Structure 1
């Protein structure tokens, strides 16, 4: 590639730009050559998709990142799934299910004639083997870095100090699996559609020692199963992973129980730089990519590329920690901040088309949503009056924003920060900016409550209030409040009670009441916006159905050239 410039060598602004463009072009050319080689001379229906990041592994149970799930969901299926293009639960490997009146016993009728990619049968024994594997994790496997979604959904493990939502699994007959829980939960059955709870072959997991994970430095060394032999029931199966060329190759599962995939091969090419992904699409090196820059959408459309904007199923919020700044423990101060920010302007000026101002901490499609809550329109004068009444007319806050990241709900962190910080200053608030890399202190410090006022958000995993507000506010100490906020325990207890309520009508009413109080009585954060992320494909790509969960399936895709 050539020698790097030494410490005494400085480039002009134009020179830096030319070097950057040159490197981008070289990289794009190199990527195109690699991809064309992978396509082969006669590879039939092959799609190459530009992924923004590399998968961490191919065992979804130990994963929590979207790029791993982007790959594994093509190979693996759960007992339940989500409707195409939507968020409602629908049958997948289970055809039907019922629960006991108290919500603790769930009986799943399983699809017949399904086989894992290794030829072994999918049946009730396989379902129970998966649940028992998850529940019986030991040592390193119990760390939140590995078993994140199990801990978030089910709690503890067998023999552990923390209680578990899971009690046992029974294989009544080959097509009937019974899952016993220790209590009712609003999470069921939707949580079983999470990629981490995909059904995997017990035979393959045993043969390739799936649970053999070793901590190594700040990361982990995964098993042969997780690296080379992931085995599910889905329409694609694992072929290879070239770490040097950063590409994952999947091939069609010709023995799939349902409609066969149209593609012979599906290749995920890792291209971390969004501008390089765009170049690759324009040059024909890839057939599509995720999270295009909102500023590029019109030009891509004008060049006949298919830009699909997903329905928003996320939220961006302005968090307010009550740990280090005593002023933020006062409700009038938090309300003043809510009145100080111009959310309409933020949506219009800084977010992509289709974004909307958030009324609650989740979209209107989720149970418990209500318009009957306190509204905070932009009113800097009212913000000043509230601060004066609270004794903080000269309020100073640290306002944190992340660098080295974009998120579906936060495509331009710097621009969003600048917009909101400007609003706050107009209300007489002294803003001290603090920026940190997303994975270089921002997330960890924010989660500890060290960020006074900060930008964060969430993309929903499934359609449940608990997946949003239960995740945000469901513990007595979190990023918003610590022991100086005694109502934090009250809110956490109310969320716990709502999650445990087996009656859906009563449970929805409980969430509605919690949402009202979140906006008036508590206000630990200000919901800002719901933002729709886009995905773009070449004109010859047909049949891709977008998902509000950013959980696209590629089996329906075909290439028409």
Structure 2
């Protein structure tokens, strides 16, 4: 629930910072003291959660990182949400919706009796005020650095040469909002469940100048609204952010329209190092944390901690760039790579329990999934034959892998690289390793097509083929191919046509056909695995429902001691 730099990256999701053993011990001690002071002597129902990173701000529209969304989704809601534990769209601030036959007009029936945290009424005027705010961004707000998900979903802003997917919003009456699009899209209505499109109080945004963002070099100075006064309709409301102690405090919204939160207070304590998060849980300083090391799961279970493994909603793939190495433009060579890697062994030996071998570029619970695709079992001898037929019996490739990072789909980059490189060498492929830090050249170079063969992946934002294969292959020049791949334009056009198709059954057929051809006729990458990231909580934490989107909501959590 990404966070992203397209195609295929989540720049701001959880990173891993190296800390010395001595610093780790000191930090753990100081964190325990800070957390205990936050709890107080009589904190009632308080949960302290160890977050891997700090939120960038508290206005989700300007965010793209998972740690900001982890906080804001507790305070804010969208027109639609996702059913707990699944990726299925469900009503949130809208109770129902329908579209015109051509897929351009969407009518949303809104929930009555809802108020924002500042007492402002939630109604159709508030919905349209948010859409118009997003569409009419100016200055830095029009950049991908700030309005990433708007640009990815809707394309552009008012006055752009290229038309935006968004056309207009009309408040027909207080409980009916009509959104006009310029074309049909498979993204609707699921994309409106993205945290960036949470509906915020127009009153608070005006009062605290939400759009007053100033560029400062490569960073930004945000508004008073984004830093101190985020205002939504959710079960928690903003309390405070102590940057010196790196902790965010949210309080229960006692006026919430739905079932009230069980917790009086929810604290997110920023602990970047995974080993420190684990130590804090063991010492009782925090009540839970995300992304535990897969090697620690059995030990944590044996100590009665509640380890929940999410359903996988991601993909790890072996990318194949056709920019520099002419041999990789030959389909037989790309198929040889697919036969050369032992994906079953990779899943069993290098990935956590619950990981699955991937046959497509997204999980089976996404629309358009095709069972009857060409599959590549581990067969090094067949790989050798294909390379010989293609005239490359002594194929040499650069195989890139990232350092200084873990990802839900790639918990151990070095181990995964070593396993796959060993497989390739058994098939007679000469492997030249290339490793770079994730934020020190790896993702930027991969994005430009500089890596010949590389490891990368994606965690889905919502249930849509476009969010996966549209992201990967929907442009004629990307990390996989440039102009030397003549079918790149054909594939991009097919993906665009499928996204635009208003009839769901026909759109499903189109995506299914594309998925078949991706594996047999194109093969721009080799799908490797779907890997389920875990989350761990103390025995006294009850009621947490995990999300395949890594988008947990804590309103259902209670503390039983």
TM-score (norm: length of structure 1): 0.96
Residue in 2 aligned with 1:415?
415
Give the whole-Å Cα distance in 2 for the aligned partners of 1:162 and 1:130. 21
User: Secondary structure of the equivalent of 1:368?
Assistant: coil
SS in structure 2 at match of 1:144: coil
Write the deviation string for residues 280-307 of structure 1: whole angstroms up to 9, x where unpaired.
0000000000000000000000000000
Give the equivalent residue in structure 1 for 2:457: 457
Secondary structure (helix, strand or coil) at the match of 1:420 reads: helix
Partners in 2 of 1:215 and 1:382 — Cα distance? 55
- Segments of 5+ residues of structure 1 without an aligned counterpart are 1-18
Q: Secondary structure, in 3 states, of the residue corresponding to 2:520?
A: helix
1:36 aligns with 2:7: no
Residue deviations 1:188-208 (CA, integer Å, cap 9, x gap): 000000000000011111111
Give the secondary-structure state (helix, strand or coil) at the position aligned to 1:491: helix
Matches of 1:491 and 1:289, distance apart in 2: 41
CA deviation profile, 1:495-529 (whole Å, cap 9, x unmatched): 00001111111110100000000001000000000
Match of 2:354 in 1: 354
Aligned-partner Cα distance in 2 for 1:323–1:215 = 35
> Is 1:318–2:318 an aligned residue pair?
yes
Deviation digits for residues 209-254 of structure 1, max 9, x if unmatched? 1111111122111111111111100000111111111111100001
| Greater Cα shift, 431-440 or 306-315 | 431-440
SS class of match (1:234):
coil
Structure-2 residue corresponding to 1:121: 121
1:500 is the counterpart of 2:500 = yes
Q: Distance in 2 between matches of 1:451 and 1:112?
A: 53
Q: Is 1:73 aligned to residue 82 of structure 2?
A: no
Question: How many angstroms does 1:175 deviate by?
Answer: 0.5
Per-residue CA deviations over 1:88-132 (Å, capped at 9, x if unaligned) read 000000000010011000000000010111110110000000000
Tell me how far apart the structure 1 counterparts of residues 493 and 70 of structure 2 sit (CA, whole Å): 35
d(CA) in 2 for partners of 1:197 and 1:264?
A: 26
More deviation, 295-304/216-225: 216-225
**For 1:343-492, what aligned pairs fall within 5 Å after superposition?**
343-492=343-492
1:152 maps onto 2:156 in alignment: no
**In 2, Cα distance between equivalents of 1:228 and 1:95:** 30
Partner-residue secondary structure (3-state), 1:528: strand
Residue pairs, 1:16-165, within 5 angstroms: 20-165=20-165
SS of structure 1 residue aligned to 2:58: coil
Which deviates further from its counterpart, 429-438 or 509-518?
Answer: 429-438
How many residues end up aligned between the 2 structures?
543
Once residues 542 and 184 of structure 1 are traced to their aligned partners in structure 2, the CA distance between those partners, rounded to angstroms, is 42
| Aligned twin of 1:204 | 204
Q: CA deviation at 1:55?
A: 0.6
Q: What SS is found at the alignment partner of 1:410?
A: coil
Q: Any idea what SS the aligned residue of 2:215 has? A: strand
- What's the offset of the Cα at 1:439? 1.3
| 2:274 is the counterpart of 1:280 | no
What is the rounded CA distance, in whole Å, between the counterparts of 1:385 and 1:327 in structure 2? 15
SS in 2 for 1:371: coil
Match of 1:375, SS state, is: coil
Paired residue secondary structure (1:432): strand
* CA distance, structure 2, for counterparts of residue 60 and residue 199 of structure 1: 10
Are residues 107 and 437 of structure 1, via their aligned partners in 2, closer, same or farther at CA, if it must alter by over 3 Å? same
- Tell me the SS of whatever aligns to 1:179: strand
Q: What is the DSSP-based 3-state SS (H/G/I as helix, E as strand, rest coil) of the residue aligned with 1:401?
A: strand
Q: Matched residues in 1 for 2:431 and 2:212: separation?
A: 49
With 136-145 and 271-280 compared, the bigger mean Cα shift is at 136-145
Structure 2 runs not aligned, ≥5 long: 1-18
Deviation, 1:443, is: 1.1
CA drift at 1:21:
3.3
Could you tell me which residue of structure 1 aligns to residue 3 of structure 2? none
Structure 2: distance between partners of 1:228 and 1:425: 55
CA distance in 2 between counterparts of 1:122 and 1:71 reads 21
Mean CA deviation greater in 28-37 or 383-392: 383-392
Alignment partners' CA distance in 2, 1:209 and 1:254: 26
- 1:214 and 1:324 map into 2 onto residues whose CA distance is 40
| CA deviation map 1:398-438 (0-9, x unaligned) | 11111111111000011000100111111111111111111
Shift of 1:23: 2.6
| Cα distance between partner residues in 2 of 1:156 and 1:120 | 29
The alpha-carbon deviation at position 162 of structure 1 amounts to 2.2
Deviation, 1:346, is: 0.3
Cα RMSD between the aligned structures?
A: 0.9
Q: Stretches of 4+ moved more than 4 A in 1?
A: none
State the SS of the aligned residue for 1:338: helix
Choose 385-394 or 101-110, whichever is displaced more: 385-394
Alpha-carbon distance in structure 2 between the residues aligned to 1:154 and 1:548: 24
**Structure-2 residue corresponding to 1:526:** 526
2:105 & 2:43 partners in 1: Cα distance? Answer: 48
CA drift at 1:20 = 3.8
Distance in structure 2 (CA, Å) of the matches to 1:214 and 1:443: 27
How big is the shift at 1:140?
1.0
Structure 1 position 185, deviation (Å): 0.6
Number of the residue aligned with 1:259: 259
**CA distance in structure 2 between the aligned counterparts of 1:396 and 1:162, rounded to whole angstroms:** 42
Q: In the aligned structure 1, how far is the partner of 2:444 from the partner of 2:206?
A: 35
Counterpart-to-counterpart distance in 1, 2:537 and 2:223: 34
